[in-house]
Amino acid sequence: MAKMGILIDITKCIGCKACEKACKMRNDQPLTLDEHLSANAYTVVQERLPNTYVRRMCMHCENPTCVSVCPVGAFTKTAAGPVVYDKYKCIGCRYCMYSCPFSVPKYQWNKVVPYVQKCYMCADRIEEGSEPACTAACPTGASIFGERDKLIEEAQKRIKDNPDRYVDHIYGLHEVGGTSILYISNVEFEQFKAPFNIALPDKPLPMYTWAALEKVPTIVVVGGVVLTGIWWITSRRGEVEKFEAGSKQEHWWRFGKKQEGVKEKKEDKQ
């Protein structure tokens, strides 16, 4: 199956929040208007600049950091693109929250048995051949669903055909190795503040982790050799000190015996 994704055209968003409502209804969440992502809001539309609306949601990275840091495999990147979460595997360590470069996963702090919550891009609907509830509800086409490669082509075409309308940047094309959620805008992304103003590398973040971890065997071997050497030197020094102490003791014992012999001989002569 081809990798799917969502293209968000900021120039088309009118801030109606139809995507938010559709998401909440799909996931049985309270129909409240939220300003920020939370355990009860998988997607939000924020007015970052006057009359300029930016939709926030999980970016469904091509090489997700949350997947790489989860010690129990609660997160999975599916072949279709969505990054899904299995609450029955989760142990509540929240490494996913600390590691996400977009600060997406949220925790149910008010629950007796809490879980991590985030957008899963309606993975079940995609498997059935449908589209996510949010894109289906968008009245202006500000969020469209499709194959990621075709969405990239569409974004490139819009930018090329309307150079005065769009900045020449597809956000999510290269950031942290690429994401399934793509943005195009008429405003430089840095003006939208976090996470768009954060200088993220093009290299997937898990690659930095593996680059460090692959050096661990060498460090362990070298460290083991060094520690063994230190132990040998310390042990050897102790043995030498014991030997020297024993030699001195034996020397003084022999010297004492010799002196006693001399004394006895003198006494015999007398």
Domain-by-domain residue ranges, the chain?
4-204, 215-270
Give 4-204's CATH code, choosing from 3.30.930.10, 3.30.70.20, 3.40.50.10140, 3.90.1640.30.
Answer: 3.30.70.20
The continuous run of DSSP H or E covering 4 comes out as strand 4-9
Q: What is the pLDDT of residue 219?
A: 45
Distance CA 158, CA 176 (A): 23
Give 66-113 pLDDT, tens digit per residue. Answer: 999 999 999 999 999 999 999 999 999 999 999 999 999 999 999 999
Under 8 Å between Cβ of 121 and 6: yes
- Tell me the residue type at 202: D
Distance, CA of 123 to chain centre? 21
Across 43-153, the runs of DSSP E, i.e. the strands, are 44-49, 52-56, 75-77, 83-85, 106-107, 116-117, 143-147
Give 184-232 pLDDT, tens digit per residue. Answer: 999 999 999 999 999 999 999 888 664 544 444 544 444 555 565 565 5
**At residue 255, does pLDDT exceed 90?**
no
- Tell me the residue type at 153: E
Supply the mean pLDDT for the chain.
87
Helix (H/G/I), strand (E/B), else coil: 116: strand
